[in-house]
Amino acid sequence: MTRSLELHPDRLFPADPTTRGLARELYGAVKDLPIVSPHGHTDPRWFADDAPFADPVSLLLAPDHYLFRMLYSQGVALSDLGVPDRSGPSAADPRAAWRLFAAHQPLFRGTPSALWLEHVFAAVFGFTERLTEATADHYFDRIAEALATPAFRPRALFDRFGIEVLATTESPVDTLDHHQAIQASAWAKASKGRVITAYRPDAVIDAEHEQFPHALRRFGDLTGEDVTSWSGYLAAHRKRRADFIAVGATSTDHGHPTAATADLAAVDAERLFAAIVSGRATAAEAELFRAQMLTEMARMSLDDGLVMQIHPGSFRNHNRPLFESHGRDKGADIPMPTDYVRSLKPLLDRFGADPRLTLILFTLDETAYSRELAPLAGHYPCLRLGPAWWFHDSPEGMRRFREMTTETAGFYNTVGFNDDTRAFLSIPARHDMARRIDCGYLARLVAEHRLPLDEARDTAVDLAYRLAKRAYKL
């Protein structure tokens, strides 16, 4: 039996009729605002080459760890889903992989992935029936046909989605060729939106990364600096940051295991760096070096103006056999308890009150919202709170974020929403979800006579649009 697919106009709004009506009114003020996506992991090659997406699997399934991690948890092999491994692209037949995905749709019931997928299927491709085992081939064929048309090229979709700015994330050893090609294109000059990058230096900071020695050599080659000396290493970062700024970067991003920072004396930092480049650093020295480099990155931000983002608290690649067979970013990163009060103190002692620095904090440890993050952001001028992230990028996660931070940090020590996604077609769905949840939260404040309706409307626009532009200097 074919089941209908419908995007209900009141989805995610409060069930109470009065509050739902207020949420509807507030949503009307934000639903058509341009999308500001200041942090994510889409591929700049898409917009540089503007080549057609190959097939439904390579576009929607294979790059989306939210999807394939759920299937993996039920015993479905990644190799059968079109997910590449360390040896290269998957040998799975795309249609067979799509059928397998369709047959397991019940796994996503109640998850944000289901909401994002339904939005993509209905709003982007125009489906009116749900994806099931019975409709798998119909979906595959119709999506494949659409992807072969000019209207579904990356640049056309970018413009159709109303994206004002989209930030990708690159390593210091990326040549930035794709971003340079985007800037030089006629499309970039004609489009109302722009694609920029962000500086993610983890590859040359994390001595425990398996590719650190190779990345460090490449870092030296690209910059012409002696990156085995402390002064040359810091100079290389400054050069690469300038290169990133030249193609639009306004931010850096740091995915460290913890939020630890350090403020070592110059001689101690140099001694620590010598241990790092020797290849014989202990785990404690690697952690201390990551901590020191957050402070060094903050120091550089005072000079070049790049906004800092810290995304800590993930035990990366927890599944060792999967990491060995398929590499990083395969859905096996697990949240950990994270300390911010003590960890950030060395950096905040140095720069916490400096108006030239903006430091955006994210967490996978929700227990830190009201205990640590909101009080810190509600005091230090440099601190802002990033939105509910990764495992908490969900309706309930977004509500918890507002409920646990607003009373202490307010709305204006947060930065609105960013989607942090690799799944390009889900961007409108994610922003729409965030706008609906925020409007529902604001509607409750209005219904409880805690916030006037006109102020709620202004705040809704700020959360959906203005705060991200302001925080990320867009």
Q: Are residues 176 and 32 in the same domain?
A: yes
Task: Report pLDDT for 250.
Answer: 98
Q: What is the CATH number of the domain that holds 180?
A: 3.20.20.140
Whole-angstrom distance, CA of residue 201 vs CA of residue 241: 9
C-alpha–C-alpha distance, residues 390 and 22, integer Å? 29
Tokens of 39: 């942090």
Q: Write down which residue in 135, 152, 169 finishes a domain.
A: 152
Report d(CA 6, CA 239) in Å as an integer: 51
* Domain identity same for 178 and 304: yes
- Specify the pTM: 0.96
Which residue in this structure is represented by tokens 């460090």? 216
Residue 359 sits at the vertex; the CA angle it makes with 177 and 64, to the nearest 5 degrees, is 50
* pLDDT attached to residue 1: 61
One domain for residues 94 and 171: no
Whether residues 213 and 97 fall in one domain: no
Query: What amino acid is encoded at 361 in this protein?
Result: L
Q: What's the average pLDDT block by block, 10 residues per block, for the chain (474 residues)?
A: 89 98 98 98 97 96 93 96 93 96 97 97 97 97 98 98 98 98 96 96 96 97 98 98 98 98 98 97 98 98 98 95 92 95 98 97 97 98 97 96 98 97 96 98 98 98 98 98
Residue written as token pair 């939106």: 193
Residue 389 within a domain: yes
Residues 272 and 207 in one domain: yes
Q: Is residue 6 part of a domain?
A: no
**Is the domain of 60 the same as that of 172?**
no
Are 232 and 372 members of one domain? yes
Point out which residues pair with 4 in neighbouring strands: 129
Q: Which two tokens stand for residue 257?
A: 């295991």
Q: At what angle do helices 230-246 and 266-277 cross, to 10 degrees?
A: 90
Is 324 buried (19+), middle (13-18) or exposed (0-12) by CB count in 10 A? exposed
| Strands 35-37, 334-335: pairing kind | unpaired
Q: What is the pLDDT of residue 3?
A: 85
Burial class (CB in 10 A: 0-12, 13-18, 19+), 181: middle
260: alpha, beta or left, given left = phi > 0 and alpha = psi -120 to 50?
beta
Residue 9 domain flag: no
If asked whether residues 209 and 301 sit together in one domain, one would say: yes
Residue 86 · residue 221 · CB < 8 Å? no
Q: Which amino acid is at 125?
A: F
Assess if residue 11 is contained within a domain: no
Contacts of 443 (CB under 8 A, 6+ apart): 13, 14, 19, 20, 22, 23, 26, 456
User: Whole-angstrom Cα distance, residue 156 to residue 278?
Assistant: 49
The closest of 361, 234, 245, 240 to 306, measured between CA atoms, is: 245
Burial label for 9, CB within 10 Å (0-12, 13-18, 19+), is exposed
What's the rounded Cα separation, in Å, for the pair 386 and 230?
Answer: 32
Of 108, 127, 152, which residue is a domain's last?
A: 152
Rounded Cα distance, 27 and 431, in Å:
12
Counted residue by residue, the chain has a size of 474
Instruction: Determine the pLDDT at residue 457.
Output: 98
Q: What CATH code is carried by the domain that includes residue 75?
A: 1.10.2020.10
- The SS3 call for residue 384 is strand
161, amino acid identity:
F
DSSP 8-state secondary structure symbol assigned to residue 306: P
Closest to 43 (Cα-Cα) out of 428, 429, 421, 469: 421
Burial 292-306 (b: 16+ CB within 10 A, else e): bbbbbbbbbbeeeeb
CA 167-365-62 angle, 5° bins: 45
Residue that terminates a domain, selected from 152, 185, 210: 152
The closest alpha carbon to 435, from 391, 407, 468, 470, belongs to 468
Both structure tokens of 280? 């014989």
| CB contact at 8 A, 425 and 120 | yes
Counting the structural domains of the chain, the total is 2
Is 5 a domain residue?
Answer: no
SS3 per residue for 428-441:
HHHHHHHHHHHHHH
Decide if 10 is inside a domain.
Answer: no
Is the domain of 238 the same as that of 305? yes
Predicted local distance difference test score (pLDDT) of residue 256: 97
Is 3 inside any structural domain? no
Q: Are residues 165 and 148 part of one domain? A: no
67 and 202 in a common domain = no
Cα dist. 254→198, 327, 399, 473 in Å?
10, 20, 25, 18
Helix (H), strand (E), coil (C) string for 184-202: HCHHHHHCCCEEECCECHH
Q: Which domain does 118 fall in, by range?
A: 52-152
**8 in any annotated domain:** no
| One domain, residues 98 and 175 | no
